[in-house]
Structure formats: C-alpha cells, structure tokens
Chain A
Amino acid sequence: MNWFLFSSPSTFYRLAGSLAPWFFVLAAALAAAGLYIGFAVAPVDAVQGEVYRVIFLHVPAAWMSMFLYFVLAGWGAASLVFNTRLSAMMARAIAPTGAVFTFIALWSGAFWGKPTWGTYWVWDARMTSELVLLFLYFGFIALANAFEDPRRGDRAAALLGIIGLVNLPIIYFSVQWWNTLHQGSSVSFKGTTMHVAMFRGMMLMALACWMYAIGASLVRVRSIILEREARTRWVRELRGRPGVGAAEGSRA
C-alpha cells in the first residue's frame, strides 16, 4: 500500500470525510460504557469517597493532552522534513483539540484537588508543567495564524511545536524528579494498582477521548484543506458537484 497517496490533500479530504463520523460514533459509545462503569460499577474509593470519580475524566484528558502534543510535533517535524502540505495542516488541526484536553485536565484536576488537597491550585511541578503545555498549544495556534503567508506560519509553528516537546518528559517525570503534591502514576506498562473496574472505566474513557480527538482533528483538517486549496482544480471540481454546499456542509 502506498501511504504517500494519503499525503495528497485531495485524497485525504475524502478519506477524512468518510472516517470522521465513525470516530465520533465510537467515541460516544466508549464514553457511555466508560461512564457507566465509572459511576455505576466501580466501587467507592476507601480514602477519597465519591470524588475520586473525577479520575475517569482527569487522567484520560491529561494523557490525551500530552499524546496530542507529541503527534502535533511529529506532524510539524514531518512538514519541515518532507515539506508536505498535509503534515502542517494536520498539526494545525490537532492543536485546538489538544488545548481542549489540556484545559479539561487542568480544570478537573483543580476540582479534584480542592476536596482532597484543600486547594484548587498550587504551583506544583506537575500542574505548572501542564499549564505550560496549555500555553504551548496557545502559542502554536497564535504563531501558525500570525503570518499572512500560511506556509511561513506552518514552519514557525512547527518549530515551536518541536521545541515544546521538551516539556513532555518534564510533565511525565515531574512527580519523580521533584517532591510534588500531585500523586504518582497508578498505571504503568508493568500493571496497575487500581481496582479492576476503576481501571476498565478509565481505559474506556481514554479510548473515547482518543476517538473523539481523531474525529475532531479529521473534521478540522477538512476545513483547513478546503480553505487552503480553495483555488485548486480538485476543489473546483468538488464544488462543481451538485449539493456540495448543502450535503457536504451538513456533514461537518
């Protein structure tokens, strides 16, 4: 299979359009299952009581915030190395969703912290580095849109994305490197210290977040492709089709 075929915006536009709805359906189904297990099956935590159930949102959102930044930087690097148009568009498409997950991780963390730590916020290494990640997402979006020539914006933002990668190990290892208020990881590649129902609920929610992020990024990249390629022949052919404004528009 020739994967470079999909690096063509016209090919990827159609592929993304047919895949995105399925990712949203999967996200909804997985979120429903995850929330059911998280709220109806998983037992109450012996120490924290009911409030620990924020974990089913907080941890998947935090994982996605870091993972999406890694993917964003990867697309940015690909755009610089291979000079492919689609790579930069993908990086742009991922950034807002990454920022959304980072915000959710910080917000839900604050509302978990208040009843358990007694405070919404402290300048703890984990929380501060996660806040830096949010600013990196904002910086990426601002820089990408700061230039009249979008290709220049792509390059500048890609560079920022790659430099910002240094923050990911800081977030991940902050609880080991510094004496932080934030607890250490309950899940690793070796296993988990969590109750099996809690773990299943959390993993289902993580998968739901993953599916949603892919779906949202695909929808957004389609809009970016259309705007960028508005004057190309394939878009002219696309808009020449009857119903492109109505049927295609309602698909978003």
Chain B
Amino acid sequence: MSHDYYIWMSYGAAAIVVAVEVIALRIGRARALRRIEEERDLETQD
C-alpha cells in the first residue's frame, strides 16, 4: 500500500501553514507601517 498520501498531507499542510504565517507577518508589518503613516498624518494636521 502506498503511503504517499499521508506523507504529502503532512508536508503539504505544513508548507501551507508556514506560507500563511509568512503572509501574516507581511500583513502585520504593513499594518504597523500604516499606523506610523497615520500618526504622521495626524501630526501634520495638528
């Protein structure tokens, strides 16, 4: 019996989860930078 399915499901899911985390890191970084820009805009308005 081939066990390819179980191996692929393990490594494939791990790759997807890691990819999602990397995307989430980029989104978090972009959000933090946007926050800085918002602070700058607020200060400019003041």
Interface positions of A (Cβ within 8 A of B): 49-51, 53-54, 57-58, 61, 96-97, 100, 103-104, 107-108, 111-112, 114-115, 212, 216, 219-220, 222-224, 226-227, 230-231, 235, 239, 244-245, 248-249, 252
B1-29 CB contact bits vs A (8 Å, 1 = yes)? 10110110111011001100110111011
Listed in ascending order, the chain B residues whose CB lies under 8 Å from chain A are 1, 3-4, 6-7, 9-11, 13-14, 17-18, 21-22, 24-26, 28-33, 35-37, 39-40
Known: A100-B21, A239-B40. A50 touches B7 (CB 8 A): yes
20 A-B pairs (CB sep. < 8 Å): A50-B4, A50-B7, A51-B6, A51-B7, A57-B10, A100-B21, A111-B7, A114-B6, A115-B3, A223-B28, A224-B32, A226-B32, A226-B33, A227-B31, A227-B35, A230-B35, A230-B36, A231-B39, A245-B36, A252-B25
Is the Cβ of A219 less than 8 Å from the Cβ of B29?
A: yes
Number of A-B contacts (CB under 8 A): 93
Q: Tell which of A115, A244, A249 touches B30, judged by Cβ atoms closer than 8 Å.
A: A249
Nearest residue, chain B, Cβ from A53: B7
A115–B36 touching, CB < 8 Å: no
